[in-house]
Amino acid sequence: MLELSLRKTLISGKRCFALELELHDTTGSLVVMGPSGAGKSLLLRMIAGLTRPDAGRICLAGRVLYDSSAGIDLPPQARQLAYLFQDYALFPHLTVRQNIAFGLKRGWLNPGRRHADRQVDTWLDRFGLTSMQHQHVDELSGGQRQRTALARALVLEPRALLLDEPFAALDPALRQHLRSELAELQQRLGVPLLLISHDHDDLAHFGRQSVYLERGRVSSLQREQPRPA
Amino acid sequence: MMDMQAALPALWLSLKVAGWATAINLVLGVGTGFFLARFRFPGRDLLDTLLTLPMVMPPTVLGYYLLVLVGRNGALGSWLYDNLGISLMFSWQGAVLASSVVAFPLVFKPARAAFENVDSQLEQAARVLGLPALAIFFRVTMPLAWRGILAGLLLAFARALGEFGATLMIAGSIPGRTQTLSIAVYEAVQAGQDDQAHFLVLLTSLVCILVLLGAGALKPRTAGGY
């Protein structure tokens, strides 16, 4: 599902951060763990195409997204991935419905408030957001925001899911609930998932394989036991 | 009625010049603001300083620079005249040029700040969602920055409306052709036409109040936003 080897050096002022890692995941459900500053987000950004690696190769869900020796570097627009940002990056000037329809609508104008689309309706319904579809996103609770962000990404039928600490901003009770919801959803959609976290509960829920990252290097790699039913 | 006949062309000319100067800065000022907000390059701070100069320099000094540049013997002016037969001197287009330059920093500065305040993660989210760069600009960046930009545009319009020094040096004061409201006020006072001056001053004040009212209507609303 994911095959990757990357090199990237970041220099800011006197500090220098070097990332060099190789990952190979066939399970389609990989959790990257590690302390903050280990390079987890950087890894995710490079897979999404938001940061260009110095060298290496990224192959995800059967497609080469980046290969420095072959001169391949797909722009983020062409990678067809879902990226769930840590604070969800919802568009504050748009309603829930407009946010979800955002990527479906081409051109220079945002989808209208009453933008009609069956797929949008389906996702609103699936995530219980129908009653608040015309609200602005700053009026939503944490869980509703996350669902909106997920729906916005999933409605485009992405080839893989990249999740950056998706539960860190939520309170513990909700966290547990949304974890189960997301795990179940991923099973149903059959989309490969890569999640970064520093919460071991995420590992238990999602990690058929896990990687521990430290200072830009893989410090341990393990396959989890089958998930308890 | 004599007052009106002299004042209306001046009012119309002022609005036309200020309107054009604002439109030009909508493209140039906003474009430059976006460029400086998004791209890092050597000399960026110096460029920012140079582009802000018209805000602090006396308009007559600016007018002099423009004269050197676009006057019949100026580098750009002689080229324009020789190749295109255009002369900006003593024309309303010259007044537009002077007003545009004077008002430029008033658009460019707030536009840059507004663009810098837009969370770049939102633009990145739009990229991942498959939008091309230009669509992201119009659908994410502009809607989130437009209030700051609009405030700048209003200031620029007001500034262009009141432009005197640089305009006088480039376009002169030809009644009906290049004599704007603010120049007409000066001329009326110089000529001892107190009634005319009174009328022009009241007219100008009225236009300024309307501009300010327009600006007030654009202040951020508290609830609902955007």
Q: How would residue A229 be classed by pLDDT, with cut points 50, 70 and 90? A: very low
pLDDT recorded at residue A15: 85
Per-residue pLDDT, averaged over B128-133, amounts to 95
Residue B225 lies in a domain: no
pLDDT recorded at residue B221: 47
Q: Tell whether the model's pLDDT for residue A69 goes beyond 90.
A: yes
Q: Tell whether the model's pLDDT for residue A57 goes beyond 70.
A: yes
Are the C-beta atoms of A39 and A215 separated by less than 8 Å? yes
CA distance A208 to B5: 84
pLDDT recorded at residue B3: 62
Residue B97 lies in a domain: yes
pLDDT recorded at residue B223: 36
Structural domain boundaries enclosing B152:
2-217
The answer to whether B127 contacts A89, with C-beta atoms less than 8 Å apart, is: no
Residue B223 lies in a domain: no
Residue B174 lies in a domain: yes
- ipTM entry: 0.90
Q: Tell whether the model's pLDDT for residue A225 goes beyond 60.
A: no
Q: Tell whether the model's pLDDT for residue B121 goes beyond 80.
A: yes
Per-residue pLDDT, averaged over B74-78, amounts to 86
Are the C-beta atoms of A125 and A157 separated by less than 8 Å? no
Q: Coil, strand, or helix at residue B173? A: coil
Domains within chain A, CATH numbers bracketed:
1-77+177-222 (3.40.50.300), 81-157 (no CATH)
Are the C-beta atoms of B67 and B74 separated by less than 8 Å? yes
Q: Tell whether the model's pLDDT for residue B224 goes beyond 60.
A: no
| Listed residue (B196, B212, B173) closest to B2, CA to CA | B196
Residue B195 lies in a domain: yes
Q: What is the 3-state secondary structure (H, E, C) of chain A?
A: CEEEEEEEEEEECCEEEEEEEEEEECCCEEEEECCCCCCHHHHHHHHHCCCCCCEEEEEECCEEEEECCCCEECCHHHHCEEEECCCCCCCCCCEHHHHHHCCCCCCCCCCCCCCCCHHHHHHHHHCCCHHHCCCEHHHCCHHHHHHHHHHHHHCCCCCEEEEECCCCCCCHHHHHHHHHHHHHHHHHHCCCEEEEECCHHHHHHHCCEEEEEECCEEEEEEECCCCCC
Tell me, yes or no, if A12 comes closer than 8 A to chain B by beta carbon.
no
Q: Which residues lie below 8 Å from residue B145, measured CB to CB, with a gap of 6+? A: B111, B114, B115, B117, B118
Report the domain count for chain B: 1
Residue B25 lies in a domain: yes
Tell me, yes or no, if A82 comes closer than 8 A to chain B by beta carbon.
yes
Q: Tell whether the model's pLDDT for residue B43 goes beyond 80.
A: yes
CA distance B82 to B74: 12
Q: Tell whether the model's pLDDT for residue B222 goes beyond 50.
A: no
Q: Which residues of A touch B139 (CB under 8 A)?
A: 102, 108-110
Tell me, yes or no, if A106 comes closer than 8 A to chain B by beta carbon.
yes
The percent of residues above 90 in pLDDT, for chain B, comes to 62
pLDDT recorded at residue B1: 41
Q: Which residues of A touch B128 (CB under 8 A)?
A: 48-50, 76-77, 79, 81-83, 153
Least confident of A4-8, A208-212, B49-53, B157-161: A208-212
Q: How would residue A205 be classed by pLDDT, with cut points 50, 70 and 90? A: confident
Q: How would residue A171 be classed by pLDDT, with cut points 50, 70 and 90? A: confident
Nearest CB to B124 within list A50, A91, A156: A50
Residue B226 lies in a domain: no
pLDDT recorded at residue A226: 52
The answer to whether A91 contacts B132, with C-beta atoms less than 8 Å apart, is: no
Tell me, yes or no, if B117 comes closer than 8 A to chain A by beta carbon.
no
CATH number at residue B150: 1.10.3720.10
